Structure 1
């Protein structure tokens, strides 16, 4: 399957990477950074798996479904954690994560 057939997912992955990286950076600058540690950790996990999946899809990986399943789980975990925090960057990150998880589930 050509990576062009996965373009919507690749776009969602890219949006999620950007949102997670922004959230990660913003969380580190929060006054009570100790309360943000799980959010920060999951932002990194999520950005990394999304980046890997996007690259793998561009290589036409034979493991697209398996990787997408793992990515969806991590995106949901990150989205659920970010949703707990009222910061705008966390809320935007949660939205991007949930959209990405849904896009991943379509090929998982």
Structure 2
């Protein structure tokens, strides 16, 4: 599916950015910072968010008709991850990436 719509391309870009940001922040910031940043619930949510974003991107790239359902689930996970990162603090780039991905995925799922 080489001719993605503008909306799909925007969603794909947001998903890949969020995937990179969540994994990067988890490994390069949270693990180094410790404390609340490495609480199991927060770490699991960040890993789930990264995987949901990766899976959404893959569904769009392969042209799967279920990409809308995956994007809907991804939006929910991104929203939860943004809340968790905001509560932990010092994770503004992750919060922003999650919120942007949530917006794009909600639009794609609609």
Whether TM exceeds 0.5 here: the answer is yes
CA distance in 1, matches of 2:18, 2:45: 12
Displacement of 1:41: 1.3
Displacement of 1:34: 6.8
Displacement of 1:2: 6.1
1:49-68 to structure 2, matched below 5 A, reads 49-68=52-71
Displacement of 1:37: 2.9
1:76-87 to structure 2, matched below 5 A, reads 76-87=79-90
Cα RMSD, aligned residues only = 1.8
- TM-score, normalised relative to structure 1: 0.88
Contact 1:16/1:93 (8 A) holds in 2: yes
Contact 1:85/1:91 (8 A) holds in 2: no
Q: Structure 1 stretches of 5 or more lacking a match?
A: none
1:1-108 to structure 2, matched below 5 A, reads 4-5=4-5, 6-25=8-27, 26-32=29-35, 36-87=39-90, 90-108=91-109
